[in-house]
Structure 1
Amino acid sequence: MPRPIAHSASVPAPVDKVHAALVSEQYWKDRIQEIGGPSAHLVSVTAINGTISVVMTQSIPEEELPAAVTAFKKGPLVIERTESWGPLGGGRAEGKFGATVEGAPATISGTTLLEGNDTSSTMSLSGNTEVKVPIFGGKIEAMISEQVLSLIDNEHDFTGNWIGQNLK
C-alpha cells in the first residue's frame, strides 16, 4: 500500500527568483554537483519558455543502506529522479516529481507547488512512496520517505543559498 508523503518549506526569496532558479539549467548543474551525492549526474535538462523538465541519477552506497533494503537489493541504490516545473503565473507554478530505484520495485511520485510574493516563497510537495515487496514493503517505504524528505530539505536550503549567490 503506498505511503503518502507531504512536505512544505519556505525559501527566503521572491517567488519570481525562486522560479527563475528552478527553470535554470545552471541551477540544476550546481545543485547536482553540490548535493547530489556519489556518482550523481544530470541525464537531461529541457528548458523552454519558463518551464523545465529534468532527469537525474543519484545513488546511495550499499554500506549506508538499512538491512531491510540490502536483503533484497545488493550494491548501491541507484535512483533516477525526474522533476518538472511549469510557467509562473499569478505568483504560483506547478510541477511534478518522480523517482524509481534501479532493480527494485520502488517508486515515488507526486506534485509540487511554488507559491509566493515579492519577499518570500513556499515550495510544497505531496505524493506517494510505494515499494512492492511483501512483508518488508512498509518498512522500506517509511525509510525511503524519511530519506527523501531529508534530501528535499537540503535541496530547499541549497535553493535559497543559490538564489542569494546567483540572482541578485
Structure 2
Amino acid sequence: MARRIEHLTTSTWPVQDVYRALVDETYLRDRLAVLGGNDAQLVSFTQADSRTSYQLKQGVSAEHLPSVAKGLLGGDLVIHRVETWTEAGTTGTVEVTLNGVPGRLDGTTVLSGHQGGSRMVLTGQVKVGIPLMGGKLEALIAEQVAKLLDKENEFTTEWLANRG
C-alpha cells in the first residue's frame, strides 16, 4: 500500500525568482554541494523550450540512517531524483528511487504566489514493495523527504538573498 505525501514550503521570494533558481544549473550544483551528501552529482541537465529536466544523485551515510534502513541497505543510501519543470515554472514532477529499495516516490510540485511571496506544494505517494517492512519504510521516506524539502527551501532563500 502506498503512503500519500503532501508537503508545503513557503518563501518570501516571488514565484518567478524561486522558479529561476530551481532551473538554474549553478543553483543545483551549489545546492548539491551543501545538501547533497556523499558523492552528490548533477547527473544530467537539459533545457528546451519551456521545459527543464535534471537528474540528481544524492547520498546519505549509513551512520545517519535509522537501524531499519541500515539493515535493509547494508550501507549508504543513494538517492536518484529526476525533476522536470514546465508550464512557465508553475508545475513540476519529481521521481525518486533509492538504491537497494524496491520502491519509489512520485509526485507533482506546484509553485504559486502566496502572501507576497510564494509557496511550493509537493503532492505524491511513496510506495515500497517489501512485505511487513514496506509501511515503515514508506513512513521513513516521507519523513526524510519533508526534512530535505525544508532544508532545500532554506537554502533557496539564502541563495537568492546572496544574489539579490
Identity %: 38
Q: How is 1:143-162 mapped onto 2 (pairs within 5 angstroms)? A: 143-162=140-159
Q: How is 1:23-102 mapped onto 2 (pairs within 5 angstroms)? A: 23-88=23-88, 93-102=90-99
Q: Is the 8 A contact 2:81 2:97 kept in 1?
A: yes
Q: C-alpha displacement at 1:73, in angstroms?
A: 1.8
Aligned residues: 164
Runs of 4+ in 1 over 6 A off after TM superposition: none
Q: TM-score, normalised by structure 2?
A: 0.93
Structure 2 counterpart of 1:107 = 104
Structure 1 counterpart of 2:135 = 138
Q: Structure 2: which amino acid aligns with 1:133?
A: I
Q: Is the 8 A contact 1:32 1:41 kept in 2?
A: yes
Q: Is the 8 A contact 1:15 1:118 kept in 2?
A: no
1:33-54: CA deviation from partner (whole Å, max 9, x where unpaired): 1111121111011123443111
1:52-79: CA deviation from partner (whole Å, max 9, x where unpaired): 1110111111222222222322111111
Q: Specify which structure has the higher proportion of helix.
A: 2
* Structure 1 segments unaligned to the other structure (5+ residues): none
Structure 2 counterpart of 1:3 = 3
Q: Is the 8 A contact 2:86 2:92 kept in 1?
A: yes
The SS at the match of 1:75 is coil
Aligned mates of 2:82, 2:74 — CA distance in 1:
24
The SS at the match of 1:104 is coil
Q: C-alpha displacement at 1:93, in angstroms?
A: 0.8
Q: TM-score, normalised by structure 1?
A: 0.91
Q: Structure 2: which amino acid aligns with 1:156?
A: N
